Chain A
Amino acid sequence: MTAREAILSALRKNAPAPMPSPEHPEGMRFPDPVSQFLEAVKGVGGSAVRVADASALHHALSSLPVWAEARKVVSLVPGVGRSSVDLEAISDPHDLEGVDVAIIGGEVGVAENGAVWVPGRNLAPHRAIFVITEHLVLTVRAVDVVSNMQEAYARIQIERPGYGLFISGPSKTADIEQALVVGAHGARSCTVFVVG
C-alpha cells in the first residue's frame, strides 16, 4: 500500500459521521468603508492617502519622501511614477535586490484590516518585487474598497498564474520582547493611495 492509500484509508476508517457545512455569518459593514480603510491602514503601520484622480496621485507620489529620495524604482502601475529598472530584462529575481521603491496595483481594499489584494499578474514578471523592495507603494480604487474579508473573497479570483496575496501594512515583527519593529524582512514602509 502506498503512503497515499494508507493515509486516505485510515482517515476514512476513523472519520466521524458526516457533519453538514455551516452557514457563514454576515460580515460587519461600515457606513463609509473608504474612511475606515484609511484608518485601518494607519492602524497596521502603513500610511494611507486618498487622492481624487490620476493627476492628484502623480502629485502626491512626487511629494512622498521615500519616492523623492529613491534611486532604483519600479512601477508596475501603468501611468503612475516611472521605472528605472527594466524588469523584462531581468531573468533572475535575485537581481531585484537594491530596489528602493516599488509601485504595485491592488485590486481590492479591505476596510476592517487595511489589507490590499494584489493578484499575481500585477506583480509580473517577478513575484518577489513586493517583498524585496525597501519601500512599497500600493494603489487601489475607492470603488474597490469593501468592508470585510468575506466580501473581499467574494470578489477576488485566484486565477492563473495562480498567485496572489493580501498585504496589510509594512513588514513587521514583535519577536524581541513583544516590541513592535517595522521593517523585518520585507518593505520598511507601505503607502496606500486610494484613488477616487
Chain B
Amino acid sequence: MNSFHAERAAAFTRDVPHAHWHDTALWFVRVKRDRGAASVPEWERLRDAASGIKAHTLSRLADYLEEFERNAASNGIQVHWARDGAEHNRIVGEILERRGVKVVAKSKSMLTEECGLNPYLEARGIEIVDTDLGERIVQLAGEPPSHIVMPAIHKKKEEIGELFHRKLGTAAGLSDPKVLTEAARQHLRRKFLGAQAGLSGVNFAVAETGGIVVVTNEGNADMGTSLPPVHVASMGVEKVIPRVRDLGIFLRLLARSATGQPVSTYTTHFHAPLRGGELHVVIVDNGRSQILGREPFRRSLSCIRCGACLNTCPVYRRSGGYSYSYLIPGPIGSVLGPQRDPVAHASLPFASSLCGSCSDVCPVKIDLHHELLALREEIRSQNILPWSKRLAMQVASFVLRHPVLYRASGRVARSLMRAGLVRFGPAGAWARQRELPEAPKESFRELWKREGGGREA
C-alpha cells in the first residue's frame, strides 16, 4: 500500500457522494462540540487549567507514576511496567494464560491497537472480542478503526447491515441503525456472558488515590469488567493525573470536545478489584519517554484522545481515517506517527493546511499546527521527503529568489490557467476537486505600473 497521504486520499475521494457524506458527518460532530463548549462560560479557563495540569504532570511524571503505583498497590491493584508493545503484550498474555482465559471482552483502547495486542492474543488461541459497537463493526470487517472515537464512521449503514448479515446471521438488507444496534447488543451480550476476562484502556489514572477512570457511552467497559473476575487495564505513562479533583476539570472538557455531550454516560472509577478478583494495570512507555525529551513535541503527550482535532480538520474530514498511514489519524496522529517512524509517516505532517483549527478546539491546548510545522522541518532536514516534494520546494525556493524568473513564471502560470492546463502535470494535484479561479489578465505589478501607482496624483 502506498504510504503517501495524498495517494490514499485520492482513492477515498473517488467516491464523491461518500466523501461528501463523511465530511458532513464529521462537521456535524464539530458543531455539536461548539454547542457543548459554548454552554460552559468558563470553557477557556477550563482549557487553560487542563493544559496547565498536564504540563505540571509531565514535568513530574516519574514521581506521579510512583505515587500512583504505591496507592494502587495498597488498593489491591497489581501494577506492571512495559517498555514497549511486545513487553505489554507478553504481560497481558501471561495474566490471561495463568487464569486459563479463552475469551476476553475488550473495550476501546488505542494503546492496545498501538501494541498490536489483538493479533498477539489471537495467535495464542485467545478470542478477543472488541465490544464497543464501532470497534466490533471494524473487527468483523477485518479493518482498523478509522477514527479514535467513532471507529466505523467511514461505513454506511447499508454496509453494516450487509456485514451483520454475513457475520452475525441477521436478515439481509437491514439498514436501520436501531435494528442493527439491537442485533449487536444481543450478539455482544452473549459474548460478555461468555468472557473470562475484561480488557480496557484507561482515560485517567489518579496518583493521589491509586485508581483508574474509564469512560464509555455504551457501558461496554462496565459489562466487560464487572462480570468476569479478571480486569486488565492498559495505560500509557502519560495518562496519570495528580489528584481526584483534577478529574472535575478533564471530565467537563472531554465529552463536550468529543461528541458535544455534557458528559459520557458511564464514568467509572476503579480503585479495587472485584470481590475475589484481580485488577491489573499495565503502564506502557513505548516511545513516550523519548517524546517527553523532545521539547517541540512534548505537549502532544497531553492528549486525552477526544478526537476533536479530527472532527474539525478539513483534511481529515475530506480524506478519511484510512488516508493516514499511522493508526491514529488526523492532526494528533500526524504528530505522533512520525515520531515513532519518520520514514513510514513522512507524508503526514504535510497532510494539513496548517489552518490551526485543531489547536483551537483542543481541550488541553496542544499546539498541534505548530508541531506539524516543526515536524515538516525535521523531515525536510532528514532528507526523507519524496523527491517530487523536494524538487518542487527547491524550484519554488529558486524562483522566489530570482525576481525576473518570478515575474516570468507568473505570466506563464496565468496563461496556463486560462488554457485550463494547470489541471495537468505536476500542479494537477492542487487543482483536483477544486474550481480554478479566473486568471487575471495582468499581474498586480503590471496594473500598478500602468496606473502610475506610487506617484502623487
CB distance from B231 to the nearest CB of A (A): 11
User: Does A21 interact with chain B (Cβ within 8 Å)?
Assistant: yes
User: Does B441 interact with chain A (Cβ within 8 Å)?
Assistant: no
**Bound Cα distance from A27 to B81, whole angstroms:** 36
Partner of A164, one of B25, B132, B185, B269: B269
Partner of B58, one of A3, A15, A28, A151: A15
User: Does B292 interact with chain A (Cβ within 8 Å)?
Assistant: yes
Partner of A19, one of B56, B133, B189: B56
B58 adjacent to A160 (CB under 8 Å): no
A7 adjacent to B185 (CB under 8 Å): no
User: Does A196 interact with chain B (Cβ within 8 Å)?
Assistant: no
**Bound Cα distance from A8 to B70, whole angstroms:** 14
Partner of B185, one of A19, A40, A154, A185: A185
Partner of B218, one of A132, A151, A173: A173
Q: Which candidate, A71-79, A99-107, A110-118, is the interface stretch facing chain B?
A: A110-118
Q: Which candidate, A55-63, A81-89, A137-145, A174-182, is the interface stretch facing chain B?
A: A174-182
Q: Which chain A positions have C-beta within 8 A of B227?
A: 93-94, 128, 132
A158 adjacent to B181 (CB under 8 Å): no
A176 adjacent to B180 (CB under 8 Å): yes
User: Does B156 interact with chain A (Cβ within 8 Å)?
Assistant: yes
Chain B: which residue is nearest A172 at the CB level?
B217
Size of chain A's interface in residues, with CB distance under 8 A? 78
Partner of A160, one of B59, B251, B272: B272
Q: A185-B219, A186-B265 are in contact. Are A153 and B244 (CB under 8 A)?
A: yes
Q: Which chain B positions have C-beta within 8 A of A125?
A: 275
A28 adjacent to B42 (CB under 8 Å): yes
Q: Which chain A positions have C-beta within 8 A of B58?
A: 15-16, 19
CB distance from B404 to the nearest CB of A (A): 48
User: Does B209 interact with chain A (Cβ within 8 Å)?
Assistant: yes
User: Does A31 interact with chain B (Cβ within 8 Å)?
Assistant: no
Q: Which chain A positions have C-beta within 8 A of B81?
A: 2-4, 7
CB distance from B366 to the nearest CB of A (A): 15
CB distance from A157 to the nearest CB of B (A): 9
**Bound Cα distance from A17 to B177, whole angstroms:** 50
Contact flags A8-41 to B (C-beta < 8 A → 1, else 0) = 1111111111111111111110000000000010
B275 adjacent to A172 (CB under 8 Å): no
User: Does A97 interact with chain B (Cβ within 8 Å)?
Assistant: yes
B61 adjacent to A15 (CB under 8 Å): yes
CB distance from B251 to the nearest CB of A (A): 5
User: Does B222 interact with chain A (Cβ within 8 Å)?
Assistant: yes
Q: Which chain B positions have C-beta within 8 A of A27?
A: 42, 248, 252
User: Does B322 interact with chain A (Cβ within 8 Å)?
Assistant: no
A6 adjacent to B75 (CB under 8 Å): no
CB distance from B74 to the nearest CB of A (A): 10
**Bound Cα distance from A122 to B298, whole angstroms:** 42
Q: Which chain B positions have C-beta within 8 A of A161?
A: 272, 275
**Bound Cα distance from A132 to B222, whole angstroms:** 9
Q: A15-B58, A184-B133 are in contact. Are A149 and B45 (CB under 8 A)?
A: no
User: Does B384 interact with chain A (Cβ within 8 Å)?
Assistant: no
Query: How many interface residues does chain B have, given as a range?
Result: 35 or more
B226 adjacent to A128 (CB under 8 Å): yes
User: Does B295 interact with chain A (Cβ within 8 Å)?
Assistant: yes
User: Does B92 interact with chain A (Cβ within 8 Å)?
Assistant: no
Q: Which chain B positions have C-beta within 8 A of A4?
A: 81
**Bound Cα distance from A115 to B283, whole angstroms:** 29
B226 adjacent to A11 (CB under 8 Å): no
**Bound Cα distance from A93 to B228, whole angstroms:** 8
CB distance from A97 to the nearest CB of B (A): 6
Q: A113-B262, A166-B263, A184-B185 are in contact. Are A178 and B29 (CB under 8 A)?
A: yes
User: Does B192 interact with chain A (Cβ within 8 Å)?
Assistant: yes
Chain A: which residue is nearest B289 at the CB level?
A10
List B104-151 residues whose CB lies under 8 Å from chain A.
131-134, 137, 150-151
A11 adjacent to B237 (CB under 8 Å): yes
Contact flags B261-286 to A (C-beta < 8 A → 1, else 0) = 11111111111101100000001010
CB distance from A127 to the nearest CB of B (A): 4
Chain B: which residue is nearest A177 at the CB level?
B157
B192 adjacent to A185 (CB under 8 Å): yes
Partner of B265, one of A3, A40, A164, A168: A168
User: Does A170 interact with chain B (Cβ within 8 Å)?
Assistant: yes
Q: Which chain B positions have C-beta within 8 A of A26?
A: 42
Chain A: which residue is nearest B48 at the CB level?
A22
B150 adjacent to A178 (CB under 8 Å): yes
**Bound Cα distance from A25 to B60, whole angstroms:** 22
**Bound Cα distance from A4 to B91, whole angstroms:** 13
- Interface pairs A-B: 5 shortest CB-CB: A186-B219, A14-B293, A162-B272, A22-B52, A162-B271
19 A-B pairs, CB-CB below 8 angstroms? Answer: A3-B83, A4-B81, A17-B59, A18-B60, A19-B59, A21-B242, A25-B46, A114-B263, A115-B267, A127-B222, A132-B223, A148-B248, A149-B248, A149-B263, A162-B272, A166-B251, A171-B219, A173-B134, A176-B160
Q: Contacts A15-B61, A20-B56, A126-B226 given; 11 further ones with Cβ under 8 A?
A: A4-B81, A7-B285, A11-B289, A19-B56, A27-B248, A28-B42, A128-B226, A161-B272, A173-B181, A175-B152, A181-B178
